[in-house]
Amino acid sequence: MKIAVYSCREDEIALFEKYGKEYGVELSISPLPPTPETARLAEGCFAVDIITTPVGRDLIDIWRGFGIKAIATRTVGYEHVDYKYAESLGISVSNVSYTPHTVAEYTVMTMLMAIRKMKAILTRYIGQDFSLKDIRGKELCNMTVGVIGTGKIGETVIKNLSGFGCRVLAYDVYEKDSVKQYAQYCPLNTLYHEADLITLHTPATDETCGMINKNTIASMKDGVIIINMARGVLIDTAALIEALESGKVAAAALDVVDGESAIYYKDFKYRPVGHHEMAILQAMPNVLMTPHTAFFTDEAVGDMVRYSIEHCVKNV
């Protein structure tokens, strides 16, 4: 059995070789993304292994002609794949899970950086400005934190926060008893009204896309802090910018942003990025932005490679 691996980074090669041997599969590894032009890399394979590149009907049709039976994306999100169309053709589509600690720990790190104004402190330090003006922060123990989404990552964030002594509110369509010992579930509107800091850990669905918008921001506390380590489409970026400029939102930490897929994981040192809203956010001293790296640990990358191969083998 043979799997075509697309968009393989150098740091993944050894992992693919390790788990390929473990699962008894041959791998055709390429750094190139999946496109109609690179589709032939999957000839003679029974499955393809991808990451974040959008996969539409045209590419799926080509792969089907090669006899592909499974598409595995080594990401938690799978909205970049037209999975309904693939499954209608009898091609299984699978995503992966990985240790929740990687994003959960990163989330708490960015919370602390946001409330302690760390971006401004570090930027000023580089310029040898060691004054204290406008960099006084807050203590997490005195804040109410709202966690939207209590899946594996959201629940781990809540458990991590329990050590800080802050009040934690939680919202999810499906409540979990294991969360209730650390947080109080409440309606989403209550969370918006009462939280000093809101962190998002929900998937991108029709219901959640744009859930942080002009109206919901208006219902939040003045000076609220917003953290998004989940999906960029959860936030109406224009509304967030407006709220940051007015002071309604005091700060934000964003590992994701709507429209990032053509930008993140590429090098733009010597050319325009072409994302106006990202440029505005990046220029703000109270906005911490990172390029979708909350997941990026040794443990998580190993899980992503292993589970993607395992799902290919099991789904055929």
Q: Among residues 260, 275, 306, 311, which one is catalytic?
A: 260
**Annotated catalytic residue 10:** no
**Annotated catalytic residue 231:** yes
What's the chain look like in SS3? Answer: CEEEECCCCHHHHHHHHHHHHHHCCEEEECCCCCCCCCHHHHCCCCEEEECCCCECHHHHHHHHHCCCCEEEECCCCCCCECHHHHHHCCCEEECCCCCCHHHHHHHHHHHHHHHCCHHHHHHHHHCCCCCCCCCCCCCHHHCEEEEECCCHHHHHHHHHHHHHCCEEEEECCCCCHHHHCCCEECCHHHHHHHCCEEEECCCCCCCCCCCECHHHHHCCCCCEEEEECCCHHHECHHHHHHHHHHCCEEEEEECCCCCCCCCCCCCCCCCCCCCHHHHHHHHCCCEEECCCCCCCCHHHHHHHHHHHHHHHHHCC
Q: Among residues 74, 275, 292, 306, which one is catalytic?
A: 292
**Annotated catalytic residue 201:** no
Q: Among residues 74, 201, 231, 311, which one is catalytic?
A: 231
Catalytic residues: 231, 260, 292
